[in-house]
Amino acid sequence: MDYKGFTEEIKKMCNIDLSNYKEKQMKRRIESLIRRNGHESYDSYLELLKRSKHHLKEFLDYITINVSEFFRNPAQWQVLEREIIPDLLKYKKRLRVWSSACSTGEEPYSLAMIFDKMMIKSRVEIIASDIDRVAIEKAQQGVYTAKGITNIPSAMVKTYFEQEDDKYIIKDHIKNMVNFKILNLLEDNYPTGCDLILCRNVMIYFTEDTKEKLYKKFYDALSDRGVFFVGSTEQIIMPYKYGFSNLKNFFYQKILE
């Protein structure tokens, strides 16, 4: 069996279509995982995945790449807090915000902390989703290490986390602001009427064709003038093609139809 055959079997088994992900990168990662598990062929590794839930979970964890940070690329979060959100609030009474590949929760909790700090939490709804069930479970627990919170100013750590030994636990009033769910960006329906969507550090893994499809889905998920916030290596080459204007670096706005 070759890589293509393997991806077809994975699609049948877990409904994840690896053909949407950049092949070179994904193939290299999977082949290194196969070797790490002492296997040499796609066939024997696939048999392992079929027999062992543990290895299947390891495989899914590995291909989804869950690295995240609070306030990842802090300068962009400052633009969000100081310019984008105040601007949205000028013409929207309530904000529906979606963190669309939220991994272990750092991104939606960064949003929740900002909204609390701005004293507008009663005006916002935060949806946070990811394809990876394990990541979502971790996000819901909201437990982080000292290393995990290094980007957060110490005053905010005091306000928003309980410290227990070497663990930092997000406080309930912040946790309760976020509605977590499992959602596959490639297959599932998107929330609608979103005023702000974050899709950061996941598009880089997708092929150009898949990106195009997803930009259109994100466009449909946004409200008029809604803003789309991308990762620092994920600028959209021709935003107008998808109905977006370039609001600021890394921020795109839905052009009114």
Ligand X SMILES: C[S@@+](CC[C@H](N)C(=O)[O-])C[C@H]1O[C@@H](n2cnc3c(N)ncnc32)[C@H](O)[C@@H]1O
Decide: is 201 part of the binding site for ligand X (CB under 6 A): yes
Binding segment for ligand X (CB under 6 A), chosen from 28-36, 61-69, 86-94, 243-251, is: 61-69
Which pairs with CB-CB distance under 8 Å and at least 24 residues apart come from 117-121? 117/156, 118/81, 118/85, 120/85, 120/89, 120/95, 121/177
The H or E element spanning position 127 is strand 124-130
Q: Which of 67, 119, 237, 238 binds ligand X (CB under 6 A)?
A: 67
199-223 burial, b at 16+ Cβ within 10 Å, e below that, comes to: bbbbbebbeeebbeebbeebbebbb
Decide: is 14 part of the binding site for ligand X (CB under 6 A): no
Decide: is 231 part of the binding site for ligand X (CB under 6 A): yes
Decide: is 116 part of the binding site for ligand X (CB under 6 A): no
Enumerate residues 6+ apart whose C-beta is below 8 A from 78. none
Binding segment for ligand X (CB under 6 A), chosen from 3-11, 48-56, 67-75, 162-170, is: 67-75
CA pair distance 24, 228, nearest whole angstrom: 28
**Which residues in 19-38 contact ligand X (CB under 6 A)?**
none
186: tokens are: 């490639």
**Bridge partners, residue 246, by sequence:** 252
> What's the maximum distance between 2 C-alpha atoms anywhere in the chain?
59
The smaller minimum CB distance to ligand X, of residues 20 and 253, is found at: 20
Q: Which of 66, 140, 151, 159 binds ligand X (CB under 6 A)?
A: 66
CB 101 within 8 A of CB 182: no
Q: Which of 96, 121, 175, 200 binds ligand X (CB under 6 A)?
A: 200
Decide: is 236 part of the binding site for ligand X (CB under 6 A): no
Looking at residue 83, the DSSP 8-state letter turns out to be I
Beta carbon of residue 75, minimum distance to ligand X (angstroms, whole number): 14
Give the HSE-up count for residue 92: Cα atoms under 13 Å, Cβ half-sphere: 23
Looking at residue 80, the DSSP 8-state letter turns out to be I
Per rule CB under 6 A, count of chain residues that contact ligand X: 21
Q: Which of 112, 185, 230, 247 binds ligand X (CB under 6 A)?
A: 185
Q: Which of 111, 135, 156, 177 binds ligand X (CB under 6 A)?
A: 135
One character per residue 82-101, x = contact with ligand X (rule: CB under 6 A): -------------------x
Which parts of this chain interact with ligand X (CB under 6 A)?
64-69, 72, 101, 103, 107, 130-132, 135, 184-186, 200-202, 231
